[in-house]
A and B are shown apart, each in its own frame.
Chain A
Amino acid sequence: MADITRTREEGGFILEPSPTRPGPPAKIPLLHPAHNYETVTRKITSLVFNRTPSGWYIGMAILGLGMMLFTASVGYLFARGVGIWGINIPVAWGFDIINFVWWIGIGHAGTLISAILLLLHQEWRTSINRIAESMTLFAVACAGMYPILHLGRPWLAYWLLPYPSPTNLWPQFRSPLVWDVFAVSTYATVSLLFWYTGLVPDLATMRDRTKNRFLRVVYGMGSLGWRGSARHWNNYQMAYLLLAGLSTPLVVSVHSVVSFDFAVSILPGWHSTIFPPYFVAGAIFAGFAMVLTIVIPLRAFYRLHDLITMRHIDNMAKVTLVTGLVVAYGYLSEIFFAYYSGEYFEKFFITNRITGAYAWSFWALILCNVIAPQFLWSKRVRHNLPAVFLLMMFVNIGMWLERFVIIVGSLHRGHLPSSWAQYAGTFWDWSLFLGTMALFLFLFFLFIRALPAIAIFETRELIHPDQSQTETPA
């Protein structure tokens, strides 16, 4: 059997299609055909059991600095209050809400990959679903902090929850901001449950393969004593399928509720019925871009070419292209409805978006989210990893700009000209944003070294049963 863990230069086998091959290329298999249960298990567990690569330490050192920046930003915010940010009246929502929506949108691709693609029997989700679900968890952790940090008195965040208090006050359920509390906290909880459920059989594999007694106890506790018994699988598979079924409407509802935060108000640029579908598509667009941003370097660093093939990259690029087109349709329909409404202020607002003080952000958004993804129509581009990575960086920036355009672009020119103002982020806005990025990657680095980054038992299911046995007995 060829050593599939080596690169082509070392005499191994990797699944890059040959550019010189004539005719339509055959479908690339989702897994290298030489893999069996043992090799797949060994390869994935080796990401954790092998010696820590020096690149990991270097990355962690840099991220550690980022975490210090994060801590300093939050600490200074708690000491001085939200006045250290650039927000003002009328632009009371600045970087905090932009970044909240940006992060939570990124999370959505994780749930899409793990739940919706499972229900649609898309087997290519298997190699990337654990990475995407972890991305969801860490992105939601970053997102969830922002509204609380924005509260002004963050130590009173529990006032958002309905609980019997001596003041007899209750949250106002007719407000979308309270819906958001329910949507985001449910989303974070269900994502965690789904992620952990998927991990249990793999933690049992880790328990049974580790040579270290301490780790065996740790993984053993995490695996809850999983034995892979037919009774276990019977209940497990039913629960997993139902969780996927429950997560699917959840992911759609969460970003719809986030969009209601805007759409239910009467501000031009926010008060629009296109918002829920356009926000959900934008979330998936941003999320797939972020999955690719993570997967491409990770695949190169750990040489996962046999597990994450070009077909995975190609499929994800296609989803990004499609959702990008939906988002572009959203931008167009906003302009059309402003014109078609005949409403003076709507027309003023859209003209201001395209030609006003923040026109640069609108045109940069069009470049990043509408023009850049069009290159993905070409198969050659989709199979060129640096090009895909670059385009995904455009999308990451573009989706941030979209929220900037929606939030700042609408707030700074409200109905009352006497309260018009300009907005710009301060140092502390940027430092907190960079800090959450460091937190996100920091958690990701820990995850890669501690838990199986690819779902082991689901990858085994891709192997034909006849190939399941290892030839050399253990």
Chain B
Amino acid sequence: MTLKLETPIYGLLAEFDGEHELMHAAEQVRDAGYRKIDAYTPVPVHGLSEALGLPRSRVPLIVLCGGLIGGTTGLLLQYWTMAKAYPLNVAGRPLAAWPSFIPPAFEMTILFASFGAVFGWILLNSLPQPYHPVFNVKRFERATTDGWFLSIEASDPKFEYGETRQFLASLGAKEVSDVEH
């Protein structure tokens, strides 16, 4: 069985000299109307996601939900076990001892919020993903040391092989490579 692919290649990958060149190119590519674009950098670059027109990260929302779930679970678990399931009378002290319930509930809040943060960033990034077409470009191994890359996918409606290649080269790319699927 042969895999049916909509496009002959995944897209084009352009390498730039540095942060400023990449940032400038990203803005140009976005303004030219390309949407299926991404940049690859060895360090997080401030403002690059805005330059690419990426939406704000949704991680904070997941963290908030995690924290609320953790805190509520912690308080309810303690209330139910101490006051309902196993009411133990210790010298007549209140069974629902809310001040005592704060430390475990606090720890549960932090624990669940942290799970939210970590699984949030991993899953929102569609990781783990051992294979990705950009890894086919030999030069791409520099992306985790000192390479600055910009990719345009062939499935982008505006993608026109010759024209897009020309456009990327005109933005000052050091090298433009075809990315195999």
* Interface 1/0 per residue, B116-133 and A, CB below 8 Å: 011011101101111110
* Interface 1/0 per residue, A257-271 and B, CB below 8 Å: 100100000000000
Q: Once the chains bind, are B145 and A168 in contact (CB under 8 Å)?
A: no
Q: Once the chains bind, are A226 and B142 in contact (CB under 8 Å)?
A: no
Q: Give the residues in chain B near A457, CB-CB below 8 Å.
A: 42-44
* Interface 1/0 per residue, A233-252 and B, CB below 8 Å: 11111111011001101100
* Interface 1/0 per residue, A202-234 and B, CB below 8 Å: 001101110000000000110011111111111
Given contacts A230-B39, A235-B59, contact A173 B129 (CB under 8 A): no
- Check: B24 CB closer than 8 A to any chain A CB: no
- Check: B152 CB closer than 8 A to any chain A CB: no
- Check: A469 CB closer than 8 A to any chain B CB: yes
Q: Once the chains bind, are B144 and A238 in contact (CB under 8 Å)?
A: no
Q: Once the chains bind, are A227 and B145 in contact (CB under 8 Å)?
A: no
Q: Once the chains bind, are B129 and A225 in contact (CB under 8 Å)?
A: yes
Q: Once the chains bind, are B63 and A229 in contact (CB under 8 Å)?
A: no
Query: In chain A, what residue has the closest Cβ to B86?
Result: A170
* Interface 1/0 per residue, B92-127 and A, CB below 8 Å: 010001001101101110110111011011101101
Q: Once the chains bind, are A37 and B121 in contact (CB under 8 Å)?
A: no
- Check: A186 CB closer than 8 A to any chain B CB: yes
- Check: A426 CB closer than 8 A to any chain B CB: no
Q: Give the residues in chain A near B25, CB-CB below 8 Å.
A: none
Q: Once the chains bind, are A238 and B121 in contact (CB under 8 Å)?
A: yes
Query: In chain A, what residue has the closest Cβ to B130?
Result: A225
Given contacts A189-B114, A227-B40, contact A221 B59 (CB under 8 A): no
Q: Which of A174, A193, A236, A247 contacts B82 (CB 8 A)?
A: A174
Q: Please report B residues at the A interface, Cβ cutoff 8 Å.
A: 17-20, 26, 38-45, 48-49, 52, 54, 57-60, 63, 77-78, 81-82, 85-86, 88, 90, 93, 97, 100-101, 103-104, 106-108, 110-111, 113-115, 117-118, 120-122, 124-125, 127-132, 134-135, 141-146
Query: In chain B, what residue has the closest Cβ to A178?
Result: B104
Name 20 extra pairs, CB < 8 A, besides A183-B107, A190-B114, A469-B17: A37-B146, A178-B104, A179-B104, A190-B111, A193-B118, A194-B114, A197-B117, A205-B144, A207-B144, A208-B142, A224-B127, A227-B40, A228-B40, A228-B144, A230-B48, A230-B49, A231-B38, A238-B57, A242-B60, A465-B18
* Interface 1/0 per residue, A170-200 and B, CB below 8 Å: 1111101011001100100110011011000
Q: Which residue of A186, A234, A236, A237 has the most chain B CB atoms within 10 A of its CB atom?
A: A234
Query: In chain A, what residue has the closest Cβ to B94?
Result: A174
Given contacts A174-B93, A190-B114, A193-B114, contact A224 B101 (CB under 8 A): no
The minimal Cβ–Cβ distance linking B19 to chain A, given in whole angstroms, is 4
Kindly list the 7 A-B residue pairs having the minimum CB-CB distance in the complex, ordered from nearest.
A37-B146, A239-B121, A170-B81, A225-B129, A208-B141, A224-B128, A179-B103
The minimal Cβ–Cβ distance linking B103 to chain A, given in whole angstroms, is 4
Q: How large is the interface on A (under 10, 10 to 19, 20 to 34, 35 or more residues)?
A: 35 or more
Q: Which residue of B78, B90, B93 has the most chain A CB atoms within 10 A of its CB atom?
A: B78
Q: Give the residues in chain A near B42, CB-CB below 8 Å.
A: 37, 205, 228, 457, 460, 468
> A interface, by DSSP: helix, strand, loop or mixed?
helix
Q: Once the chains bind, are B120 and A239 in contact (CB under 8 Å)?
A: yes
Q: Give the residues in chain B near A470, CB-CB below 8 Å.
A: 146
Q: Which residue of A235, A249, A474 has the most chain B CB atoms within 10 A of its CB atom?
A: A235
Q: Which of A183, A226, A247 contacts B103 (CB 8 A)?
A: A183
Q: Once the chains bind, are A242 and B63 in contact (CB under 8 Å)?
A: yes
The minimal Cβ–Cβ distance linking A265 to chain B, given in whole angstroms, is 14
Q: Give the residues in chain B near A226, CB-CB below 8 Å.
A: 127, 144
Given contacts A182-B108, A230-B49, A469-B17, contact A238 B103 (CB under 8 A): no
Q: Please report A residues at the B interface, Cβ cutoff 8 Å.
A: 36-38, 41, 162, 168-174, 176, 178-179, 182-183, 186, 189-190, 193-194, 196-197, 201, 204-205, 207-209, 220-221, 224-240, 242-243, 246-247, 249-250, 253, 257, 260, 457, 460-461, 465-466, 468-470, 474
Given contacts A168-B86, A235-B57, A238-B121, contact A36 B110 (CB under 8 A): no
Q: Give the residues in chain B near A162, CB-CB below 8 Å.
A: 77, 81
Q: How far is the CA of A168 from the CA of B145 in the complex (A)?
A: 57
Q: Which of B26, B44, B106, B118 contacts A243 (CB 8 A)?
A: B118
Q: Once the chains bind, are B118 and A239 in contact (CB under 8 Å)?
A: yes
Q: How far is the CA of A205 from the CA of B111 in the complex (A)?
A: 29
Q: Give the residues in chain B near A183, CB-CB below 8 Å.
A: 103, 107
Q: How far is the CA of A196 from the CA of B128 in the complex (A)?
A: 14
Q: How far is the CA of A224 from the CA of B77 in the complex (A)?
A: 35
Q: Which of B86, B110, B144 contacts A250 (CB 8 A)?
A: B110
The minimal Cβ–Cβ distance linking B58 to chain A, given in whole angstroms, is 8
Q: How far is the CA of A253 from the CA of B111 in the complex (A)?
A: 13
